[in-house]
Chain A
Amino acid sequence: MTHALRASTFVADAERTSWHDETLWFVRQKRDKAVYAVPEFQELRELASQIKEHTLSRLDEYLMQFEAKAQRNGVQVHWAANAQEHNDIVLDIIRRHGATRVVKSKSMLTEECHLNPHLTGHGIEVIDTDLGERIIQLREEAPSHLVLPAIHLKKEDVSDTFHLHLGTEKGNHDPQQLTEAARQHLRAKFLAAEVAISGVNFAVAETGGVVICTNEGNADLGVNLARVHIACMGLEKLVPRLTDLGVFTRLLARSATGQPVTTYTSHYTKPAAGKELHLVIVDNGRTQQLGRPDFRASLKCIRCGACMNTCPVYRRSGGHSYDFTVPGPIGAILSPNIDLKKHSSLPFASTLCGSCTDVCPVKIDIHTQLYKWRQVLAEAGEIPAAKKWSLQFMGRLLASPTAFGIGGRVARTGLRLLPYRLTHSKTFNAWAVARELPEPPKQSFREWYRETGKV
């Protein structure tokens, strides 16, 4: 199924689409306000971009430096080539501790690896503790946004879900009370958990430590109560120096939600006395992406979600229309690297307006990469054959002035002479579903110019 098809289902609910669009636009506006207030914001974007580019250009060295430092800090480092290895490693650590109760804070990597079904399939209870993630976990849905995983839901939906699973009062939609119910429910899970899994926002090569950013405090609460902490990170999370965090912490929350910083910016460097800290470094296609000059810049991503909030297509089609762990513009340039065929429609789910590129805090040329993936897809035969043929036909037409002149006249005359219900048939002409065709003039410009000649 294509993005267009799933999107058309989403947008069919006009009222909900308005709500989704306006809610995310509001987040974009909060981001703007925060960004305008920092005079050096554009300089920070450039610095962040350069730091990430430099890190990628010495990635192997920084990975080794990071590993050595982390090990010296008493951290156990694991390497996973792919999702399966990642899941096996995590399960193995949990089993070695004989644990069955696991809490997990937000991690798009573990979503990408489908860790939860793997663990539950082996008898482990794994509870997502970020409120949004817990909501969708109870509903057995995928996140629809990088940092606002339940943004596709309204409070009535959450209320129904909590009534069903947490026994809250039916019809009580108050976000404050729903959040309090989740707090009570999850507190019990935090207190009982033996192992806590977290994602990683930044990994610092020179210290061997990792940084986790949350607003809810769920990562810290889970990790610091459990005996074992497993932090899972994509290998692109590295930055060279501790001071680089000054740049990234100033960019991340402002870009994501318009906050000046996340509530908790927590630095985990050594395990607590008597406890264990494990780091799982995951590749899962990342080094392959590193080898694609046109697309490697996508590895600079810090998962802020700003490109989603600004994307006019995302806001009107919803995160699930992308059918990939990371939705929106950034997902549309990451996904073809994972499965070109399955995600072939995503690079086309864009008008190439470029707003994503302009909000990106690490200056990823997102819309240019979308354009380039389209070329790769067409070369690989992953665009519909009919489209390809008509475009090739158009190519020959447009390379020949004579054919172009004739073709244009035929089209324009046809449009003038054919009956309205045929030219505006919703079956044959997608344009005409919601739009009138332009009124064809008697003369084209070139005909006018030839006849009139002069101004």
Chain B
Amino acid sequence: MAFIPPPPEAGPVVSAALTDTSVKVNSSFRGARIVLYGAIYDPRARPSDVVVIVRGPEQPLRIARKTKAAGVVWVNSRPVVFQGAPGFFMTASSRPLDQIAGFGALRRLGAGIDHLAINAPEEQQEETRYGIRDMVVSRLGTDYLDWRRGVVRLKQNAGLYAADPQGVKFVDQGLFRAEIDLPSGAPTGAYTAEIVLFQDGQPVSRRMRGLTVEKVGLERELYLLAHRRPWLYGLASVMIALAAGWAASAVFRRN
């Protein structure tokens, strides 16, 4: 890929590439490390900060809140569906985010867990599915923040949402490297990595890079079989179980 230098007046530009644009999930998959290299072209060489935001495929998420019933038993409240919470969300930056930019700039970019946009509908909306109502919380509702924090905490505990204020390291003048760890429970699908260059608290240049996490080999074959021919798959697994039980019994009888 040939690099075309930006026109002198264009101001600072960030450029970046992933060392690997596809993560293969096979039977030995135990998580992966995404490595990203990038460069800053800035004729005036002003102090720069880099923020890398990696988002995984969006997944609707149903959560409930435990509430005390009758003063003794903890039961689940009515479930709430959050549409479009990313399945993975990681921010890596060269410094803590609040030192790089102000609230507004971070909020507009959705940089950092605090500023992550979870696409709850703008207005209160109720869906009925199989006769059971799932309440979808409004972005404007008073308890929205509590629920949103709940979503984030659950994802953080699963290692799927994180922020690393030292995740971007400058390896040379204008050259940086970022590492993002994918846990083994990371969802498969299309990921995006957004690389943002900050100067004086303002985003001055952005780059977007794509990444796929996909099952390969036996993992993929089994997954596809389970979804495309579910009854055949089920029959096969039952047959394996019965045959194994019979085989063990036969082997032990001979001994």
**Binding partners A and B:** no
Interface on A for B, CB 8 Å cutoff?
A: none
